[in-house]
Amino acid sequence: MSWPGVSQRRVATNGIELNVAEAGNGPLVLLLHGFPESWYSWRHQFEPIAKAGYHVVAPDMRGYGKSDKPHEIEAYNQVEVRKDIIGLIDALGYDEAVVIGHDWGAPTAWATALHHNDKVRAVGALSVPFMPRSPVPPMAAMREMFKGQFFYQLYFFEPGVAEAEFEADIRMALKKFLVMAGGETDLTQLPPKGPDDDMFSSLPAPETLPAWLSEEDLDFYTEEFTRSGMRGPLNYYRNHDLAWKLTEGAPEHIDQPAFFIGGLKDGVIMMAAEAYQAMPNFVRDLRINELIPDIGHWTQQEAPEKTNEIILRFLKEIDG
């Protein structure tokens, strides 16, 4: 599926090639998607940001869409993913960029700002607040926290298991996953799961799609993941401990101008409530910090007009 005014090409960076979708001319704004998405999850942002005078670029992250898909699990650790984005800035012919990320793209955006303040002049994140490096290995902490319970990130950890469930019926799996995390779903009413349960068996098949997700949108995502498979995207979840080891001694404060947007009904915001409350202590120039009522996890898709208004307000504030 094409999108009006948006072109695509492949760009070499960090030893691989990323497919990028882009529009406009001017200072560079990078938009980084999360799981299980694509450049297309930013479809509503291209036109308004480009019209405001920026070069908007949204890559398919490594492992996704038409981008390269290294086989090794370790290739998807956040240090390597961060290098993709820093290399992309150079490959596109820029010295610096504004980097904005959603879901897994958010920690990547935060990390590029944290480790490369010469290349990232401002940063924005949707859904996932900034968290400094954990004092303990994250997988052990996660297993202790969710002992005796189902937790999707622990379920995703074993190679091949979640791939098989997703790929048995990609369209239905994506439909269930996207609707489950949207603002229309009351997460407190979902059936409880034990540690040995799977992801989708107990989730009811949605009878209708929410207004923010059309059949054509779902068709696009289905085609992308049917072609690319789920191994690369799921590998992001298998590198928590490796990324932790590789970032020993990392700085704890972000000093560039920053903004944060989340959905008031987002399960990630609920789960990361402590990190969200502490974020202003670590993000020292947090210009905008807003939770949008009535939406869930898919911030820029569920509330495109509000998301665009906040992004444009932030860009105007940093650029005048």
Specify whether the CB–CB gap between 175 and 295 falls below 8 A: no
Please pick, among 55, 116, 240, 297, the residue that the annotation labels catalytic. 297
0.75 exceeded by pTM: yes
Q: Does residue 33 have an active-site annotation?
A: no
Q: What is the pLDDT of residues 25-46, one digit of tens each?
A: 999 999 999 999 999 999 999 9
Q: What is the pLDDT of residues 218-231, one digit of tens each?
A: 999 999 999 999 99
The model's pLDDT over 279-306, given as tens digits with 9 standing for 90+, comes to 999 999 999 999 999 999 999 999 999 9
User: Which of these is catalytic: 103, 116, 217, 240?
Assistant: 103
The predicted structure's pLDDT at residue 211: 97
CB-count exposure of residue 30 (10 Å: 0-12, 13-18, 19+): buried
Main-chain dihedrals φ then ψ at residue 188, nearest 5 degrees: -70, -15
d(CA 36, CA 34): 6
pLDDT, tens digit (0-9, with 9 covering 90-100), for 139-180: 999 999 999 999 999 999 999 999 999 999 999 999 999 999
Q: State residue 1's pLDDT score.
A: 62
294 is catalytic: no
Secondary structure class of 130 (helix, strand, coil): coil
